Chains A and B, each alone.
Chain A
């Protein structure tokens, strides 16, 4: 593999509740290892410098842009990609509210929203805005995404009552 002055490392990552062993360059981002090393292509590259949020993954409950994190930093952490989410209220709500069109930004938005409702089950508008402004969607007018996340929050609040 490329690079003469850095040694490849064999690391183990906890991804979607599985321990995965993978060989990485120290310079590899988590994004490149998730996709090219582990074949989890649900995580999407969009800018490689943290501007667009398409590659967002969940690291220990915090949404992280995987293009801004080295793969070696992921050792010992619990990582969840879109493939690790099945039948979640957020996913269902995105589908029902037409909260995506081309679907490319969707994994990042869903990971972000899912982490948001875990941390802030009763999130107010300002919190939602603060969290979701990190991701760009170019197809929708964001209204559908707003409706999707708010309906999950409302449903959760009603459950609590």
Chain B
């Protein structure tokens, strides 16, 4: 059975290719009511009056939620009213919710609601928020309930500060012969999943709350509904069908709360909330922005000595997951290098921008852009080859990470190997820049990346396995199928363990929190790692039970038996066997007596030896392993008008073990595409009042077909001992280095340091020509 590594076609492929695949919004029950949101046009304003009288006059309006104070919500700090009360803090914030017989009526009613606002001073960037005497987005931060390990600072806009203090900075600077310092910034952008978020809620007569949601976190919805609204946790059931793209954006819990409140307002009738594209872009949480300052020093041989870093994350109006994102940015605040002296403050800043959700890479593509740009600036200053600078400092066994985890051959992948493979693929020795015509140059940019997870220390996963009477198996896991094919990869692992045909393994794609074992959240590229471990444990459980029963029937010991090929057989005499189908529901003797019974396998995994971080130094263990990569981009820049074409994008990533080659390639290339799109063109454009002027896919324009470069992906396989078959995480890692590599290539091509995103021709022109105005 050689199934691991093979490009097995995902289990739900045919449904997806024929339109039969069901997503949340495909529930079209006639009995269902529809909710629409009225959203704020202001980034910061007091709500002085809400007049709903005209809206109520429309026939078919069943409820209007406005001006009511609901419990505060938020995952780290409970600072967010699910529907604004008294005040709005970002453009797009929900001010009222209308429940009606049809979406059209609800929308018309929303248009008739008159909200009177009194504008307040706007905090339009994290740097503005950081200034002394900046207007406060939240006045009484310390009055909010918060989780352990969150450190808001009173009378400031700082929702959380994570400190990294490693080594001796004074010593580091003394040893530094070359020092550079630079600033970086980019505004929030978005996930723009093709399926806009949707939640459906109903409340049964016994107060059971049933929610269906396009979510990465069905089990977290359940917990939060309990926390926020004090509903018995067992009375919250969450269903998640297939999810139409997530990228972190659907890990946040928002519409579910609104759907619940809306259902409650109509006596528990089923209510659907489906985001319009505009709402999905700005009302629901977005991709975080960042302002950064990095000072970096090394010896004249290029050995890094000290890094001093300030990250100001644009957490937006509410802290929610931004606290964790800023913390993750601190944990891996440098690239994958040996740096003995590090000082980093990563701040989660309140601003009057939409609040942040996780975004593929969870803070890592953001800090990598800033850090890896600084590496190139350092290399430029000392005239050292950028790849050599990185390989000189590549982190090795015996070194420590910024949070002082000791590196060994298992917990961190092989950075040096990734670098040397990249060097070859990108033809580094043929030169970094070449002239291709009178105006055009071709340039190469590279970077190195790493990422661990920073999820809850006790996060875990469970799997159950059952049999059908023909010996085929059912695989049930709490992982949400968001497009990553994780559940199909779990089926591959099961096929390997049971030595059986993968077509005889049936995978439950949907999650139902009542019957599906929990998977903490489908985030942080930990699906395969955590659910994989749970699956292997469940398979061992099944194998043990099969052997135990067969040992009794075959009159031998468990140890003499093997399981595979649909049989339990004697190891030294495979001709003596029992068919699994004849024992998986108990074994019946010829006279009718029966023994055994239905075999149900269970397995779980919980993270081991993960710690919180020390408040003063950041010391602590974030997760089980770091995936590392070396990435490169080749661009062709027209120096006459600063337009450019991305010719090639390259990733060499240490994946530990390839489990499904094409699925893994798809994850990496998809991440690269998203990273190039974020780096090259995606941003929200805020006017001076913090209003977003491009909340549509024609003005917020992701990469389209034909704009994609040639992708080259190679895998290094350094196993992580604790991973299933040695596999490391890979879902986010294609994305992480793309902004840095693109910026490095364009900086070289344009001959100027490009330290902002997105890298549109206008930015290159402005930076190169030193212009401060918008047009000639």
A and B part of one assembly: yes
**Residues in A lying within 8 Å of B, measured CB to CB:** 1-3, 25, 35-36, 39-49, 51-52, 54, 81-83, 85-86, 91, 94-96, 98, 100-107, 110, 128-129, 132-133, 135-146
Q: A142–B707 Cα gap in the complex (Å)?
A: 9
With A49-B696, A102-B243 in contact, is A54–B18 under 8 Å at CB?
no
Q: A135–B194 Cα gap in the complex (Å)?
A: 10
From B17, B276, B696, name the one whose CB has the most chain A CB atoms within 10 angstroms: B17
* B696–A103 touching, CB < 8 Å: no
Residues of A within 8 A of B19 (CB): 40-43, 81-83, 107
* A104–B245 touching, CB < 8 Å: yes
With A2-B108, A81-B19, A132-B705 in contact, is A138–B247 under 8 Å at CB?
yes
Q: A42–B192 Cα gap in the complex (Å)?
A: 20
With A48-B276, A104-B195, A104-B245 in contact, is A139–B104 under 8 Å at CB?
no
Residues of A within 8 A of B534 (CB): none
Q: A2–B108 Cα gap in the complex (Å)?
A: 10
Q: A46–B23 Cα gap in the complex (Å)?
A: 13
Residues of B within 8 A of A110 (CB): 17
Closest residue to B17 on the A side, CB-wise? A91
Q: Which residues of chain B from 693 to 709 have any CB-CB distance to chain A below 8 Å in the complex?
A: 696-698, 702-708
* B9–A96 touching, CB < 8 Å: yes
* A140–B673 touching, CB < 8 Å: yes
* A142–B673 touching, CB < 8 Å: yes
Instruction: Kindly supply a per-residue 1/0 record for chain B positions 116-141, scoring 1 wherever the CB is within 8 Å of any chain A CB and 0 otherwise.
Output: 00000000000000000000000000
Residues of B within 8 A of A82 (CB): 18-19
With A52-B194, A83-B19 in contact, is A141–B672 under 8 Å at CB?
yes
With A45-B25, A95-B9, A96-B9 in contact, is A102–B672 under 8 Å at CB?
no
* B708–A136 touching, CB < 8 Å: no
Residues of B within 8 A of A133 (CB): 704-707
Residues of A within 8 A of B666 (CB): 98, 101, 139-141, 144
B259 within 8 A of A: no
Q: A81–B19 Cα gap in the complex (Å)?
A: 9
Residues of B within 8 A of A143 (CB): 669, 708, 711
* B662–A98 touching, CB < 8 Å: yes
Q: Besides A47-B277, A49-B698, 11 other CB < 8 A contacts?
A: A41-B22, A42-B18, A45-B25, A47-B696, A48-B276, A95-B9, A104-B194, A107-B19, A136-B704, A138-B192, A142-B703
Q: A46–B197 Cα gap in the complex (Å)?
A: 10
Closest residue to A142 on the B side, CB-wise? B708
Interface residue from B13, B15, B705 paired with A146 (Cβ < 8 Å) = B705
Interface residue from B28, B104, B194 paired with A41 (Cβ < 8 Å) = B28
With A100-B16, A102-B195, A103-B483 in contact, is A138–B702 under 8 Å at CB?
yes
B265 within 8 A of A: no
Q: A145–B707 Cα gap in the complex (Å)?
A: 13
Q: A39–B698 Cα gap in the complex (Å)?
A: 28
A-B contact pairs, 16 of them (CB 8 A): A2-B60, A35-B28, A39-B28, A40-B19, A41-B22, A45-B25, A46-B194, A48-B277, A49-B277, A83-B20, A85-B18, A101-B483, A102-B482, A102-B483, A142-B703, A146-B708
* A91–B18 touching, CB < 8 Å: yes
With A41-B19, A48-B276, A105-B194 in contact, is A138–B706 under 8 Å at CB?
no
Q: A144–B242 Cα gap in the complex (Å)?
A: 21
From A45, A47, A52, name the one whose CB has the most chain B CB atoms within 10 angstroms: A47
4 closest A-B pairs by beta carbon, nearest first, are A42-B19, A104-B244, A103-B16, A102-B483
B628 within 8 A of A: no
Q: A129–B242 Cα gap in the complex (Å)?
A: 29
B230 within 8 A of A: no
Q: A111–B12 Cα gap in the complex (Å)?
A: 19
Residues of B within 8 A of A100 (CB): 13, 16-17, 483
Q: A96–B8 Cα gap in the complex (Å)?
A: 9
Closest residue to B59 on the A side, CB-wise? A2
With A91-B18, A98-B666, A132-B705 in contact, is A103–B244 under 8 Å at CB?
yes
* B670–A139 touching, CB < 8 Å: yes
Interface residue from B21, B246, B277, B673 paired with A46 (Cβ < 8 Å) = B277
B196 within 8 A of A: yes
Q: A105–B707 Cα gap in the complex (Å)?
A: 17
Residues of B within 8 A of A54 (CB): 194
Closest residue to B704 on the A side, CB-wise? A133
* B28–A46 touching, CB < 8 Å: no
Residues of B within 8 A of A136 (CB): 192, 194, 697, 702, 704
Q: A143–B665 Cα gap in the complex (Å)?
A: 11
With A43-B19, A103-B242, A104-B245 in contact, is A139–B483 under 8 Å at CB?
yes
Instruction: Kindly supply a per-residue 1/0 record for chain B positions 26-56, scoring 1 wherever the CB is within 8 Å of any chain A CB and 0 otherwise.
Output: 1010000000000000000000000000000
B617 within 8 A of A: no
Q: A15–B670 Cα gap in the complex (Å)?
A: 34
B293 within 8 A of A: no
With A135-B705, A138-B247 in contact, is A95–B14 under 8 Å at CB?
yes
From A83, A110, A137, name the one whose CB has the most chain B CB atoms within 10 angstroms: A137
Closest residue to B485 on the A side, CB-wise? A101
B193 within 8 A of A: yes
